[in-house]
Chain A
Amino acid sequence: MELSFKTQLRGWRTVIFALFLREMQSKFNDKLGLGWAFVEPFIFIFAMSFARGFISGSDVHSVPIFVFMMMGLMGVQSFMTCTGSVPNAIKQNKPLYAFRQVQPIAALITSAFMEFSIKCGVIVLIALGIYLLDLDFQLADPLLLIALFLLLWLFSISISLIFAVLIAFVPEINKVKNMLNRPIFFISCTFFSLQDFPESTWHWLTWNPLVHIIELSRYACYPSYGDAGVSVSFIVEVTAVSLFLGLALYHITWKKILAR
């Protein structure tokens, strides 16, 4: 019995929607509820950015220090929370694979979508904060910024998918992943700019697509910041490769993941 593409798509949507509601219901069963998920990263990013502004100067390479820090933290936080929790989704939803409609990748997409929506909520909160406190903010190229944000998420989800498949076979990889995640916070140009370093050392940093994403998002707000050493094409290439790798790995292993 061949099903049309449209019916299949509708089936997937129903399953992901049902999983999404289920996750909402079970994840935020405590008193603070869903609000905490938004408030916590908001406070973290806002406080860190503000504190840094008090300690050192008012701007970095012509970008106000608050915006500078916020872009860095937002980028790195998106990546870290995504790769921190999404890879576990495949394992956590294991009992549900008894329903043949629910496949492991549906659980992963649901969890990724959840994290993504939370981050969008945080962005709204931060925008509100900037507006209410009347902070200096300029957005020269909004399209570039949106494209970068979406690419960042596509990249994070691809990496999560790769790790999710690996963890399904070798659970210990989870520990390795958590260890690898920590230095990412410090080498992704969160607290500093690529321009602070001599050009001869850039290759030590620019292998990391997060550096490109963060530096370019600062550039998207303030063109005077410059985009030396970073490029959108590198981000797109790395994202495409990791997405392909993730999907390929998943495609050849998903039936075995069910049996585990």
Chain B
Amino acid sequence: MIRLENLTKSYPSKLGPQYIFRNLNFEFPTENSVAILGKNGAGKSTLFRMLAKSEYPDRGRVLTNKSMSWPVALQTGIHPQMTGRENTRFIGRINQVKSLTKYEKAVQEFAEIGNRFDLPVRTYSSGMRAKLVFACCINIDFDIYLIDEATSVGDPAFRRKARQALVEKNTTAGMIMVSHELDQIREFCTSAVLINNGSLKFFPDLEEGISAYMEEK
């Protein structure tokens, strides 16, 4: 459970501050996999980043006692000049994993990139990058995994593997996912939160959420 208290968030612009959320109060369920749905510009990514604490609200708080992953997306924290191994070690260090060597090995195995693990990330294809990032994240034990759509670029085989890993984690951990592709959402999530005009609504059943989201358009 993540509690949002009196959350207000705006971005400065030439037309004055653009409010995305005003005095929002909400209890974000995290027991199972939740999809965040909403139109472009509704504040999906903003909400996502605030849940991850990579951005902070103007006023109000995001409260939780769960450990959360960083917002896992293609670009975050991966340095293109550094090798996959160096990047992995960096992420491991930042998150204070117990054994770097073990973590390194687990990531290399899960990401299925073999020897290219020791080449700079700029030589990777986008699919390989996605695999690396996802492997880095799933091999650390979090209570909640935050996953951006970009990570699901992998091929079907890898996606199956990713899903398998998440299902295994599902007994102990939840997941929050942002994506535009309903196929992927259906594949990974069981419930949904819909953002509409700065207010949130929780749908325990994913299909209800999706149909409400489709009606909006």
A contact set with B: CB distance below 8 Å: 1, 11, 14-15, 17-18, 21-22, 25-26, 29, 95-102, 255, 258-259
Contacts and interface: CB of A to CB of B under 8 A. Distances in A.
Given A95-B75, A98-B54, A98-B71, A26 B94 contact: no
Nearest to B53: A100
A15 B91 CA distance: 10
19 contacts: A14-B93, A17-B93, A18-B90, A18-B93, A21-B89, A22-B82, A22-B86, A96-B77, A98-B49, A98-B54, A98-B71, A99-B76, A100-B52, A100-B53, A255-B56, A258-B54, A258-B56, A259-B11, A259-B56
Nearest to A255: B56
Given A99-B94, A100-B53, A102-B94, 12 more contacts: A21-B89, A22-B79, A22-B82, A95-B75, A96-B77, A98-B54, A98-B71, A99-B54, A99-B76, A99-B77, A258-B55, A258-B56
B95 interface: yes
Interface residues on B, range: 20 to 34
B81 interface: yes
Contacts, number: 57
A102 B90 CA distance: 12
Interface of B is mostly: loop
A11 B93 CA distance: 10
Main secondary structure, interface of A, reads: helix
> Which of A11, A22, A255, A259 has its CB near the most chain B CB atoms (within 10 A)?
A259
Interface in B25-73: 49, 52-56, 65, 70-71, 73
A15 B81 CA distance: 20
A15 B77 CA distance: 13
Given A18-B94, A100-B52, A258-B56, A26 B81 contact: yes
Contacts of A21: 89-90, 93
Contacts of A26: 79, 81-82
Contacts of B71: 98
B65 A1 contact: yes
Contacts of A97: 54
